[in-house]
């Protein structure tokens, strides 16, 4: 493999090329890495509860152990994905309306691998962490939140897959992926902390401090990315998709409009977490200022 290709990209490409090709019958679209990612993440999902119970003392079979395991798997997805996306953006000129063939072959395969990996996670998360857990033996007991969750995963999977089908607009999906996933490890560690605290076991003073530190870091980062950076990056994306000549040439207008709708849907769908995070850091800073005032 060409030594000029970054190590991270080489690692992804080795996995990409090692898999036997599996294509959707009508579209002739390769889904090998999508399926492999689904299997890999599902296996990790069922190994993590064993590790949490036997090595960290989490109660076996408890719902909080199961939920924490799902958060761990989410981090197994977001960390390598974000590293890959950062390398991808650093090695190719950014254009949310570019065609795949404007990039070198190795980069096109690298980007395709990242899109498939993320799609595989969406399939895993929908089937394992939603449908499977809601099956009571006769039917799926899905709540309104579950339907919203599944709708989100379907739309993001459709977005990523459609860029691969038309061979254009992939960077618009990739920037959404990066902005959405960069805070994922902090968010899931925050959720694990809440689950662990509720169990009132497996805790130590240092772990409590780590959870508390992560909570404020997560809250600040989440709102920086969702309130400030997301509009800065994604509003120009929708402009280029819908209103520029190249955008209309490379991407069918109905598809561009649907992508834009999904982008803004996810942005506004973050409102409840934005409010929650605002409350977290405002409470923290109020306590800091109060303590400082008492010392004075």
CA distance 44 to 32: 18
Provide the 10 A C-beta neighbour count for residue 174.
Answer: 24
Cα–Cα distances (Å) from 153 to 66, 82, 94, 161, in that order, read 20, 18, 25, 12
User: If you average pLDDT over residues 275-296, what whole number do you get?
Assistant: 83
Ramachandran angles phi, psi of 104, nearest 5°: -60, 160
Bridge partner list, 140:
135
User: If you average pLDDT over residues 158-180, what whole number do you get?
Assistant: 97
Task: Enumerate the domain spans of the chain.
Answer: 7-295
Exposure string (b/e) for 85-105, b if CB count within 10 Å is 16 or more?
bebbeebbeebbbbbbeebee
| Residue 2, pLDDT above cutoff 80 | no
CB-CB contact of 175 with 234 (8 Å): yes
How high is the pLDDT of residue 7? 96
User: If you average pLDDT over residues 130-135, what whole number do you get?
Assistant: 72
Whole-prediction pTM: 0.93
User: If you average pLDDT over residues 160-186, what whole number do you get?
Assistant: 97
CA-wise closest residue to 168 among 92, 108, 251:
251
- Locate 152 and state its tokens: 């989100």
CA distance 132 to 137: 10
- pLDDT digits 0-9 by tens, 188-213: 999 999 999 999 888 889 999 999 99
- pLDDT digits 0-9 by tens, 40-74: 999 999 999 999 999 999 999 999 999 999 999 99
| Residue 136, pLDDT above cutoff 70 | no
- pLDDT digits 0-9 by tens, 239-280: 999 999 999 999 999 999 999 999 999 888 899 999 999 999
- Locate 77 and state its tokens: 């997805």
CA distance 205 to 196: 13
User: If you average pLDDT over residues 94-123, what whole number do you get?
Assistant: 97
Per-residue pLDDT band for 293 (boundaries 50, 70, 90) equals low
């Amino acid at each position: 493999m060409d030594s000029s290709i970054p190590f991270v990209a080489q690692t992804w490409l080795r996995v990409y090329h090692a898999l036997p090709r599996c294509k959707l019958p009508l579209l002739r679209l390769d889904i090998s890495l999508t399926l492999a990612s689904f299997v890999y993440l599902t296996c990790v999902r069922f190994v993590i509860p064993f590790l949490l119970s036997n090595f960290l003392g989490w109660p076996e079979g408890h719902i909080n152990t199961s939920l924490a395991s799902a958060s761990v798997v989410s981090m197994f997805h977001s960390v390598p994905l974000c590293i890959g996306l950062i390398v991808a953006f650093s090695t190719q000129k950014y254009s949310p309306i570019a065609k795949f063939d404007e990039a070198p072959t190795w980069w096109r395969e690298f980007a395709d691998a990242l899109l498939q990996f993320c799609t595989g996670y969406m399939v895993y998360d929908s089937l394992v962490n939603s449908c499977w857990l809601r099956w009571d033996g006769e039917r799926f007991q899905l709540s309104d939140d579950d339907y919203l969750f599944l709708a989100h995963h379907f739309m993001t999977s459709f977005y990523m897959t459609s860029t691969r089908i038309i061979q254009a607009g992939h960077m618009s999906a990739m920037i959404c992926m990066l902005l959405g996933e960069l805070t994922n490890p902090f968010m899931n560690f925050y959720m694990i902390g809440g689950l662990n605290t509720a169990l009132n076991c497996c805790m130590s003073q240092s772990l409590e401090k780590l959870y508390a530190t992560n909570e404020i870091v997560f809250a600040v980062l989440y709102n920086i990315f969702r309130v400030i950076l997301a509009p800065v990056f994604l509003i120009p994306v929708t402009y280029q998709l819908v209103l520029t000549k190249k955008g209309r040439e490379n991407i069918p207008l109905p598809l561009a409009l649907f992508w834009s709708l999904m982008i803004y849907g996810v942005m506004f769908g973050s409102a409840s977490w934005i409010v929650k995070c605002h409350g977290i850091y405002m409470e923290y800073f109020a306590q800091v200022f109060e303590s400082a005032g008492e010392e004075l």
